[in-house]
Amino acid sequence: EGEIPMPMFIAMDPPQHTAQRRTVAPAFGPSEIERMRADTQARTAALIDTLPVGETFDWVERLSIELTTDMLAILFDFPWEERHRLTGWSDALGDIESFDTLEKRQVRLGKAFEMGAAFKQLWDAKALNPGKHDLISIMLQSDAMKHMSENEFMGNLILLIVGGNDTTRNSMSAYAYGLHCFPEERAKLETNHDPELAVNAMHEILRWQTPLAHMRRTATEDTELFGHQIKARDKIALWYASANRDESVFPDGDRIIVDRENARRHLAFGYGIHRCVGARVAELQLTTLISEMQKRRLRVNVLAEPERVHASFVHGYRHMPVQLEKY
């Protein structure tokens, strides 16, 4: 009751899914990643240089939220001075706890329409003066997406904003928390600044954290899986968090091992036609964070257990007190 359907391409089948995904995918392709690389490094370096050494601060608020919000604003060419609205919308619309009463659903719906109104203004502005690289301009120039209904427009905005915010934000927090939990692995990154090790560590942190814990799919036909009967139209929860700890694939999977040989086999981005369309952007942001911290020989010490997001879908952190020290 009180819920309005908001279709999004992650919940569509081909051919509609194919057409819409194909529209936005170029914004996250290899050439675009290279175009973003220098700016991402500069923004990450500048933010790290504002962090106090030896003083307590909230890593989630000061670093994880800031870097991911900035990237979202760049991807959408959203007004820079209003970019923190993106974080607020992502937090509200990705909150699974906001579905459990009619009153909460109505508040959430209000946030969705607030977001939709702001992006409708941006849509109209881009229709008159399109950009080259931003997602709104790309959608406007596509037959598959330029005639979306209001609800579908909002659904895809939620997908792209939550997908681009919660995932990378919580991976950046996992970098600090996870390496603090496994100091012997942190030491490997402190003594070896090989870029390939930083990339492998990035994949291992994504595996260990698994920012989005699961996805739900629908069986298309009767089948049997590991002795379980599954009927057509059954709803199946795919627990990425479980797959990423599968002991037959990742021995000692509860530990971060930064030089784990098969870390790249993780399923934190999903799999198949619905694999995260922005995976390369997430990889760029997290690897850049690791590398820039290495350059400054900075270590993150977590001072208390982080405050967690209370949800089964987003596997994340609300607050995490830390201190930086030089090594």
Contact between 222 and 280 (Cβ < 8 Å): no
CB-based contacts of 290-293 (< 8 A; 24+ apart in sequence):
290/175, 290/189, 290/198, 290/201, 290/202, 291/41, 291/193, 291/195, 291/198, 292/41, 292/44, 292/45, 292/48, 293/48
- Give the helix, strand, coil percentages of the chain, each rounded to 5: 55, 10, 30
Q: Which of 220, 292, 263, 173 is nearest to 13 (CA)?
A: 220
Cβ neighbours of residue 23 closer than 8 Å, sequence gap 6 or more? 138, 139, 142, 144, 145
The Cα–Cα gap between 41 and 55 comes to 24
CA proximity to 253, closest of 210, 302, 195, 286: 210
List of residues 6+ apart from 272 with CB closer than 8 A: none
Q: List, for residues 67-126, the tens digit of each pLDDT value.
A: 999 999 999 999 999 999 999 888 887 777 767 788 888 888 888 889 889 999 999 999
How many other C-beta atoms can be found within 10 angstroms of the C-beta atom of residue 121?
11
Give the residue ranges of the chain where pLDDT is below 50: none
Residue-range domains of the chain with CATH: 9-326 (1.10.630.10)
Q: For the chain, give the longest Cα–Cα distance.
A: 59
Residue type, 220: T
The pTM (predicted TM-score) of the whole model is 0.91
What is the distance in angstroms between the CA of the first residue and the CA of the last residue of the chain? 56
Tell me how far apart the alpha carbons of residues 73 and 70 are, in angstroms, rounded to a whole number.
Answer: 5
Contact criterion met (CB below 8 Å) for 43 and 304: no
pLDDT at 305: 97
Q: What confidence score (pLDDT) does residue 208 get?
A: 98
Pairing mode, if any, of strands 223-225 and 228-230?
antiparallel
